[in-house]
Structure 1
Amino acid sequence: MSGERIILVTKASATHCRHWEDGPENICAINRSHSDMVKFGVEDHDYESVRGKLEALAQRALTVQSRLRAGKTNFLVPYNQNPDYIGRLETLDTIKETLGYGKSQTTRYSRVSLFGLGGVGKTQITLAFSYWVRDNYSDVSIFWVHAASTDRFRQAFTSMAAEFQVPGHDDSKSDVPMLLRRWLEREERGRWVMIIDNADDKELFFARETGRANTSKETSVQSSSRLSDYLPDCAHGSILITTRDKKAALRFSQGKPSIIEIEKMNQNETVQLLQKTLGKEASLEDAESLAARLEYLPLALVQAAAFIQENSISIREYLQLLDESDENLVDQLSEPFTTVGRDSDVPNKVTTTWIVSFNQIQQRGALVSQILSFIFLLDRQTIPKKFVSRYCN
């Protein structure tokens, strides 16, 4: 037969019709007729080309299977999903975009730090993000690490190493956190997000070292004095940190674009929170009054709602208790309570949370703590800015 040659089968039909696999690693072009397409001799050059592609495909398939096995049980979050979580949608969207889980996925940072006052809702936002990732990305693992102390941090890393059966985790001479870091940095572990919660003490992570950890491929026998040395750093993993310290946030994220300040809730969010927690008992007017009285601080509002429910009183009666005296206000904000996502080792009383923050300030500078102590004696809303700036300068 003779005549003009034409293409009977299009490229898409001859391959796999999947535009997301159009890369050269998935396609092998050979100069053959349709009937001879898969007929090869032992020393056929085309056979060598096809065999190379098949071997590479098999290796990738093994890697995918490894990732799937690793991802089946890797949701290690110690808290249930908070059914009363409200708002912060813009903040959540910012976290998603910054970590590469948003709609655009054009810019991705491997670390993002949330910083703000104690009780402002950093952990709750992080918890909401964790469950969102779980529900939308089945191939992404989530790990939660308590970082309020060195012991809690090491305990979390040691538990994860045991959970994943990391080689050497049961060797008393091994630096187990470093073993886990290297294990997570291997590409076959797949994508993961690590939460470092309550990393408020910058010195635990970035203090000058008395002994440096061995980050080579050999087993580490000397522990690092800086917890930051144990944080994995790789293209397939992300770390989300919560801290009260802006300086720590900058050190963790290595730059301003990936730090996010968590501020107090707005009025609409606080009203929704109270109405969802207290139900029909919370009228719009009463909820707005309580939110304003407690400065729109989520932890204080949740604590107030718990007291109202436990004592079967109305919001107005609670407000009357607060207004009777400053001592009553302190007493109410000192009541212990429990809520979803609050670590048992972290103070849950608002006053205790503030005292912890003040003690941290006191350790960093006597002058600052003295100025704050003096300001406490003045009116909380009419303190001249010049008074503070003069001493700061």
Structure 2
Amino acid sequence: MALTASFGDMNYGVQAGIINGDVNTMINLPPERRETPPEPSIVIPFARDADFVDRGTLLDEICERCAQPNARIALVGLGGVGKSQLAIEHAYRTREQSSETWVLWAHASNAARLEQSFHDIADRVRIVGRQDSQANIFKLVHDWLCDSKQPWLLVLDNVDDASFLLEAQPASSKTAARPLREYLPYSGGAAQHHHT
């Protein structure tokens, strides 16, 4: 059965069928389009210091330790002694030595800043699912790091008080009640650098 309807002299249409039953008002959005994975790059918010002064064997020791599988190191000291400059120089040297290495930087003075940095990382490496408002961004980045075929260096900057990494985060629709430290993986061939 077909119904016809006329709307003035210039408008004429045909209804080709009749809907029986409830109308489903849900909209099915197309699945998120797969993006071409980007090539590894250095993603840090600081330029290299052209006036950096190498501190003898300290930078060599950082490089040597970070070259070990599953490495985690911490730079600890009073403010202003040059921890950031060491971390920045190490990041650039790592990238120079291996163009296949992802070099990533996260502000980690508190949970909110770390979450924003993980969003930035997810955008840069184009992690599938990052645009879902219900996504656990910590888990997405964690899983990407664990599954990465390329080596990576992650610098956690300004971890003046690491207690927020050890405490269970409040459970919500986006995160499980797990300590954030569990989202900082050990991964074969990957170096992870804690900077305080």
| Aligned twin of 2:75 | 114
Q: Deviations over 1:291-328 (max 9, x none)?
A: xxxxxxxxxxxxxxxxxxxxxxxxxxxxxxxxxxxxxx
* 2:192 equivalent to 1:231: no
Residues 224 and 163 (structure 1), Cα distance of their counterparts in 2 relative to 1, 3 Å cut: farther
What is the Cα deviation at residue 174 of structure 1?
1.2
The Cα of 1:232 is off from its aligned counterpart by: 2.3
State the distance in 2 between where 1:139 and 1:212 align. 36
Cα distance in 1 for residues equivalent to 2:38 and 2:94: 13
Aligned AA for 1:127? I
1:198 corresponds to which residue? 158
Kindly tell me the number of residue pairs found equivalent between the two proteins: 161
| Unaligned stretches of 5+ residues in structure 2 | 1-35
Question: Are residue 86 (structure 1) and residue 46 (structure 2) matched?
Answer: no
Give the equivalent residue in structure 2 for 1:153.
Answer: 114
Deviation at 1:116, TM superposition (A): 0.9
Quote the sequence identity (%).
27
* Secondary structure of the structure 2 residue equivalent to 1:196: strand
Q: Which residue, 57, 60, 63 being the options, matches 1:96? A: 63
Counterpart for residue 275 of structure 1: none
Query: For 1:125-140, what aligned pairs fall within 5 Å after superposition?
Result: 125-140=86-101
- How far did residue 229 of structure 1 move? 2.1
Gaps of 5+ in 1: 1-68, 101-106, 214-219, 244-393
Distance of aligned partners of 1:115 and 1:138 in 2 relative to their CA distance in 1, 3 Å threshold: same
Deviation at 1:238, TM superposition (A): 1.3
- Whether 2:133 is the aligned partner of 1:172: answer yes
Q: TM-score, normalised by structure 1?
A: 0.38
Distance 1:115 1:204 in 2: 17
Secondary structure of residue in 2 paired with 1:199: coil
> 8 Å contact 1:110–1:235 — kept in the other structure?
no
Contact 1:185 1:234 (C-alpha < 8 Å) held by counterparts: yes
1:108-153 CA distance string (max 9 Å, x none): 4521111111111111000010111111111111000011122111
By how many angstroms is 1:212 displaced? 6.7
| Offset of residue 226 of structure 1 | 2.8
Q: Is the 8 A contact 2:52 2:85 kept in 1?
A: yes
Query: 1:97 corresponds to which letter in structure 2?
Result: E
Q: Matches of residues 288-303 of structure 1 in structure 2 within 5 Å?
A: none
Structure with greater helix share of residues: 1
The 1:172/1:71 distance shift into structure 2, 3 A limit, reads closer
Displacement after TM superposition at 1:183 (Å): 1.1
Assess if the C-alpha contact under 8 Å between 1:71 and 1:139 holds in 2: no
**Of the candidates 172, 175, 179, which is equivalent to residue 222 of structure 1?**
175
Q: Whose radius of gyration is greater, 1 or 2?
A: 1
Task: Verify the 8 A CA contact 1:98 1:109 in the aligned structure 2.
Answer: no
Q: CA deviation at 1:227?
A: 2.3
Work out which of the residue numbers 84, 96, 109 in structure 2 matches 1:123: 84
SS in structure 2 of the partner of residue 84 of structure 1:
coil
Opposite residue 43 of structure 2, the aligned amino acid is L
CA distance 1:118–1:225, shift in 2 (3 Å): farther
The structural deviation recorded for 1:164 is 2.0
CA contact (8 A) 1:197 1:242 kept: yes
In structure 1, what is the equivalent of residue 18 of structure 2? none
CA contact (8 A) 1:97 1:108 kept: no
Instruction: Report SS of the residue matched to 2:132.
Output: coil
TM-score (norm 2): 0.74
Q: CA 1:89/1:158 → structure 2, altered by over 3 Å: closer, same or farther?
A: same
Give distance in 2, aligned partners of 1:187 and 1:126. Answer: 22
Distance 1:241 1:166 in 2: 23
**1:244-267 CA deviation, whole Å, 9 max, x = no partner?**
xxxxxxxxxxxxxxxxxxxxxxxx
2:19 equivalent in structure 1: none
